[in-house]
Amino acid sequence: MYKQIIVIRNDLEMSSGKKCAQSCHACLGSFEKTPEAIRKAWKGEGEKKVVLEIGSKKEILGLFKKSKELGIACFLVKDAGMTELDPGTITALGIGPDKEERINKVTGSIKLL
C-alpha cells in the first residue's frame, strides 16, 4: 500500500484556511517529485493521504532530512508572506507518496492534525 503524508506546523498561528492552502502546496510539491511508477500505483489505490501536526521548525526540518536520507520524495513549503506569515516561513512538509512501510519510518509516531 502507498500513502502520502502532509505535516503541518501547529506552533504557527495559521487560520484553518491557511493550513488547508499549505497542505495543498505540500501535497502537490511532493507528488511532483515522486517517480512516475509510484505516482501511478498510489493513484490506483485511491491516493491515501494523512495529515499530521508537528510542534516546531526544528522538528519539521528533522522529518525533511530523514525523508531525504531514505530517498523518499518530499517537499518543504516556505510561505510567500502575502497573508498571515512572514516570507520564507516554513509551514508544511509533503512526504511521498511512497510505500507505507517506508514512510512510517519517518512519521510513524507523529499525531494526527
Q: Which residues pair with 94 in a beta bridge?
A: 6, 75
The pLDDT value given to residue 81: 86
The segments of the chain whose pLDDT lies below 50 read: none
The pLDDT value given to residue 62: 97
Residue type, 78: K
Residue 85 near residue 77, CB atoms below 8 Å: no
Q: Which residues pair with 90 in a beta bridge?
A: 78
CATH for 2-107 is 3.40.1490.10
The pLDDT value given to residue 83: 87
**Per-residue DSSP letter, 111:** P
Give the number of residues written for the chain: 113
The pLDDT value given to residue 51: 98
Q: What is the largest CA-CA distance in the chain?
A: 38
Sort 81 into a burial class: Cβ within 10 Å, 0-12 / 13-18 / 19+.
exposed
